[in-house]
C-alpha cells in the first residue's frame, strides 16, 4: 500500500504551524510531541501506521474553523478523526498532516421528543446517543458493532450501518442535518430538524464522503420510539445454499425482520471455542430477529419457523425469554473476538445480491484453499453485506501481503456478481486501489468533481478513497 510522498515544505515548517495553532487553541488541545502524536498513528486498520505531524483536539465549531483556516492558508493537509475505529484506514494520518480529532466535542445540544430528533456534537459516541434518549423510550437506530467506541463523526463520514439496518436503514437514512466546516474555514449548516428540503441533496453526498468534503462538527439525528420488544430465533442448516434460500424465502414472505445474521462453519467453530454459546456444529447458522409486542413477535416467528422447517434445519431454536435471546446473540456478538483469538484477521465487507450468496461462499472457500489462508464468514444476510474474516499471521513474512491479495480477489468477486467493494466500512486506503474494479475513469472523475467543489486544494484526507494515480493531478496541482 502506497501513500503520497509527504510534503517536505510543510514538515520543515512544523514549528511555525504549531505556533499558529497554539494561538487559536488551548495549550492542551495541540499535540506536537513526537511521542504523543503516536497515539494517532493508526485507526482500526492497524496494519498501517504513520504518526501525524501534529494533532489538534478543538472543543467547538469555532475552534475547528480557526484550525482549518490556518491549515488552508498554509497548505497543510488535514485528516479528520472521530474515535479511530475505522477498519478501512480512513483516519490513517500522513506524515505531513494535522489530525483534527473531534473527541472532545461530545455534548448533547438539544433533544426534542415531539419532533423526534437529537442534536449532538459529532465526537459523541454512537451508543451514548441512544443513552441520552432511552429513558424517554427512544433510540438512535444505526448500531455498528463498534457502537461503544465509534463516534457519530465517523459514522457520518463512513455512512455506517449495523445489524438492524435491514429495517431501519444506515446512517444516511437517519441523518437530518449537519454543521460542517469547510477546508477554508467557512461554516455551513445543511438540513436541520425537518425533512427533504428542496435544493441539491448536499447532506446525502456529505454522508459517506470519508472526511474529504469538510469537518462535521454537529449533527441532527432522527430518533425513533423503542419497539415494545424483540426476540431472535436460531436456525442451523447443513448447507449454505439452503440457508441462503431460507433468507430469500423469509424476505419474499413479507416478514421484515430487523436482522438476519449468517455464520458459516469456521466461524461457528471459532465462536463456540471462545464464547460457548451452545451453537450447533453445522455448515450455516442464521439468527433472525423480529420486533413488536409479544403477540406480534409470536406470530412473525411462527411464520419464520414454518419457512425454516420446510428446509430441514438441523437446529431450530426460539428464544423464550431475554436470557435465551442473549445466548443466541452471544456467539454472533463475539465472532470477531473469537476469530481474533485464533490469529490476526482482516475483515472485508463487500456486498452481493443475496441470490448470489451460495455461489460466492463456495468461491471463497475454494480461494481459501488456493491461498492457504482460513476464512470465516459472518454477515448481515438480509442485505447481502458479507464480512469474510481472513486469518493471517502478522509476524510471518509475506502473510499480510498474501492476505491482502486474497481479500482483493474476494472483493473483485463481489463486484463481478453485481455487488460492491464495501457495504459499510468505507474505502479509505484499504480498497482505494480497487476502485477501478467497480468504477470507470469517468465514474471516478464525477466523484472527484464533487471534492473539487468542496475542497479545491485537495487538502482534506486527500490520499484516501480514490486511486492515487487518479487523484494525483488534483493533489499535486
Partner 1 sequence: MTPTSELELSDMIKAVNGPLRIVGGGTRPIGHVMGEVLSTAALSGITLHEPGALTLVARAGTPVVDIEATLATQNQRLAFEPMDHRALMGTSGQPTIGGVVAANISGPRRISVGACRDFLLGVRFVDGAGNIVKNGGRVMKNVTGYDLVKLMAGAYGTLGVLTEVSFKVLPAVEAETTLTLSGLDDTTAIQAMSAGLGSPFEVTGVAHDPAQSLTHFRLEGFAASVAYRADALSKLLAPFGIMQDTAGDWSAIRDVTAFAGKTGDVWRISVKPSEAAALAAKIGADAVQYDWGGGLIWALCPVGTDVRTAMIGTAGHATLIRGTGQTFHPEPAPLADISTGLRARFDPRGILNTGIMG
Contacted entry of ligand FAD, partner 1, none for residue 164, CB cut-off 5 to 8 Å set by kind: none
Rg, Å, the chain Cα set: 23
Residue 383 contacts partner 1 per CB under 8 A = yes
CB of 379 to ligand FAD, least distance (A): 10
Binding-site member from 20, 21, 43, 237 for ligand FAD (CB under 6 A): 43
CB 474 within 8 A of CB 92: no
Q: What is the DSSP letter of 226?
A: P
Question: Can you say how many angstroms the Cα of residue 103 is from the centroid of all Cα atoms in its chain?
Answer: 17
Q: What is the DSSP letter of 18?
A: H
Q: With b meaning 16 or more CB within 10 Å and e meaning fewer, what string describes 181-219?
A: bbbbbebeebbebeeeeeeeebbeebbbbbbbbbbbbbb
Residue 82 contacts ligand FAD per CB under 6 A = yes
Residue 308 contacts ligand FAD per CB under 6 A = no
Which residue is closest to ligand FAD by CB?
154
What are the grid coordinates assigned to 45, written together? 486498520
Closer to partner 1 by Cβ: residue 25 or 243: 243
CA separation for the pair 416, 437 (Å, rounded): 9
Residue 44 contacts ligand FAD per CB under 6 A = yes
Closer to ligand FAD by Cβ: residue 375 or 462: 462
CB of 188 to partner 1, least distance (A): 5
Closer to ligand FAD by Cβ: residue 311 or 474: 474
Question: Taking CB under 6 A as the rule, which mask of x and - marks residues 215-254 in contact with ligand FAD?
Answer: xx--------------------------------------
**Footprint on residues 129-188 left by partner 1 (CB under 8 A):** 137-138, 158-159, 161, 165-166, 169-170, 172-173, 182, 186-188
Residue 474 contacts partner 1 per CB under 8 A = no
Residue 242 contacts partner 1 per CB under 8 A = no
CB 246 within 8 A of CB 237: yes
CB 145 within 8 A of CB 162: yes
Q: What Cα–Cα distance (Å) separates residue 231 from each residue in 116, 257, 287, 327, 330?
A: 25, 10, 10, 11, 13
Question: Taking CB under 8 A as the rule, which mask of x and - marks residues 413-432 in contact with partner 1?
Answer: -----xxxxxxxxxx---x-
CA separation for the pair 156, 385 (Å, rounded): 19
Contacted entry of ligand FAD, partner 1, none for residue 266, CB cut-off 5 to 8 Å set by kind: none
CB of 62 to ligand FAD, least distance (A): 15
CB 281 within 8 A of CB 268: yes
Which residues have C-beta within 8 Å of that of residue 79, sequence separation ≥ 6? 52, 91, 92, 93, 94, 97, 98, 99, 100, 211, 460, 461
CB of 433 to partner 1, least distance (A): 13
Contacting positions for ligand FAD (CB under 6 A): 43-44, 79-87, 90-91, 102, 122, 144-146, 150-151, 153-155, 157-158, 160-162, 210-211, 215-216, 336, 424-426, 461
Amino acid at each position: 500500500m502506497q501513500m503520497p510522498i509527504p510534503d517536505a515544505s510543510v514538515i520543515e515548517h512544523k514549528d511555525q504551524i504549531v505556533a499558529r495553532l497554539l494561538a487559536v487553541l488551548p495549550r492542551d488541545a495541540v499535540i506536537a510531541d513526537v511521542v504523543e502524536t503516536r497515539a494517532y498513528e493508526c485507526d482500526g486498520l492497524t496494519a498501517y501506521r504513520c504518526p501525524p505531524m501534529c494533532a489538534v483536539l478543538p472543543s467547538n465549531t469555532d475552534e475547528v474553523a480557526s484550525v482549518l483556516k490556518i491549515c488552508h492558508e498554509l497548505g497543510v493537509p488535514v485528516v479528520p478523526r472521530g474515535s479511530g475505529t475505522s477498519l478501512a484506514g480512513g483516519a490513517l494520518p500522513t506524515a505531513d498532516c494535522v489530525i483534527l480529532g473531534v473527541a472532545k466535542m461530545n455534548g448533547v445540544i438539544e433533544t426534542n421528543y415531539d419532533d423526534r430528533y437529537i442534536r449532538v456534537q459529532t465526537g459523541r459516541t454512537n451508543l451514548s446517543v441512544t443513552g441520552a434518549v432511552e429513558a424517554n423510550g427512544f433510540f438512535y437506530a444505526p448500531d455498528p458493532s463498534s457502537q461503544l467506541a465509534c463516534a457519530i463523526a465517523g459514522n457520518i463520514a463512513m455512512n455506517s450501518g449495523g445489524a438492524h439496518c435491514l429495517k431501519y436503514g444506515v446512517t444516511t437514512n437517519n441523518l437530518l442535518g449537519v454543521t460542517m466546516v469547510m477546508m477554508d474555514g467557512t461554516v455551513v449548516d445543511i438540513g436541520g430538524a425537518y425533512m427533504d428540503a428542496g435544493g441539491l441533496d448536499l447532506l446525502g453526498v456529505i454522508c459517506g464522503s470519508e472526511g474529504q468534503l469538510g469537518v462535521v462538527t454537529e449533527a441532527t439525528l432522527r430518533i425513533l420510539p423503542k419497539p415494545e420488544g424483540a426476540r431472535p430465533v436460531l436456525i442451523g442448516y447443513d448447507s449454505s445454499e439452503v440457508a441462503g434460500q431460507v433468507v430469500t424465502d423469509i424476505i419474499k414472505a413479507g416478514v421484515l425482520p430487523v436482522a438476519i445474521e449468517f455464520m458459516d462453519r469456521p466461524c461457528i467453530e471459532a465462536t463456540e471455542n471462545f464464547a460457548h454459546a451452545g451453537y450447533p456444529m453445522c455448515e450455516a447458522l442464521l439468527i433472525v430477529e423480529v420486533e413488536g409486542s409479544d403477540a406480534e413477535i409470536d406470530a412473525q416467528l411462527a411464520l419464520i419457523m414454518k419457512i425454516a422447517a420446510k428446509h430441514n434445519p438441523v437446529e431450530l431454536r426460539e428464544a423464550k425469554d431475554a436470557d435465551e435471546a442473549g445466548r443466541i446473540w452471544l456467539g454472533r456478538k463475539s465472532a470477531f473476538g473469537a476469530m481474533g483469538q485464533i490469529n490476526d484477521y482482516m475483515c472485508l465487507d463487500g456486498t452481493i445480491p443475496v441470490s448470489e450468496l451460495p455461489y460466492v461462499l463456495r468461491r471463497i472457500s475454494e480461494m481459501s484453499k488456493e491461498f492457504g489462508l482460513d476464512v470465516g464468514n459472518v454477515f448481515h444476510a438480509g442485505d447481502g453485506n458479507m464480512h469474510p474474516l481472513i486469518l493471517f499471521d502478522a509476524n510471518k513474512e509475506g502473510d499480510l501481503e498474501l492476505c491482502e491479495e486474497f481479500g482483493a480477489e474476494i472483493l473483485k468477486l463481489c463486484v463481478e456478481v453485481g455487488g460492491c467493494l464495501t457495504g459499510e466500512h468505507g474505502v479509505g486506503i484499504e480498497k482505494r486501489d480497487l476502485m477501478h474494479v467497480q468504477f470507470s475513469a469517468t465514474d471516478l472523475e464525477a466523484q472527484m468533481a464533487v471534492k473539487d467543489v468542496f475542497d479545491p486544494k485537495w487538502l482534506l484526507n486527500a490520499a484516501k478513497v480514490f486511486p492515487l494515480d487518479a487523484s494525483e493531478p488534483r493533489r499535486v496541482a
